């Protein structure tokens, strides 16, 4: 992967993680935490939405998919913390 692609991947992950943190908990997780949540959320979102036949295209689509996946991830983490 080229350096621009990696940088774009990190930026999308950071923004998606930050947005998901704001929506799900009301706070972000710091730059590294946001990137990790966003990237893991993107993988989770790609898996979940791919399984039901929904795909996202382009940068905005990638951001939406990563955001939704990060929200799912944070919701699952909150369920585990409560148990």
The 10s digit of each residue's pLDDT in 18-77 is 999 888 876 667 788 888 988 999 899 889 998 999 988 888 998 999 999 999 998 888
The pLDDT confidence band at residue 1, using thresholds 50, 70 and 90, is low
Domain map (residue ranges) of the chain? 3-77
Q: What is the pLDDT of residue 26?
A: 61
Distances (CA, A) of 16 to 58, 82, 83: 15, 24, 26
Q: What is the pLDDT of residue 31?
A: 82
Show the tokens assigned to 65.
């998919």
**pTM for the complete prediction?**
0.85
Nearest to 75 by CA among 21, 30, 35, 29: 21
């Amino acid at each position: 992967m080229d350096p621009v692609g990696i940088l774009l991947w990190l930026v999308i992950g950071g923004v998606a993680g930050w947005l998901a943190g704001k929506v799900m908990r009301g706070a972000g997780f710091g730059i590294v935490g946001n990137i990790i949540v966003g990237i893991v959320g993107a993988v989770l979102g790609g898996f979940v939405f791919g399984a039901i036949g929904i795909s996202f295209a382009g940068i905005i689509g990638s951001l939406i998919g990563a955001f939704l996946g990060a929200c799912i991830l944070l919701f699952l983490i909150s369920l585990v913390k409560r148990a």
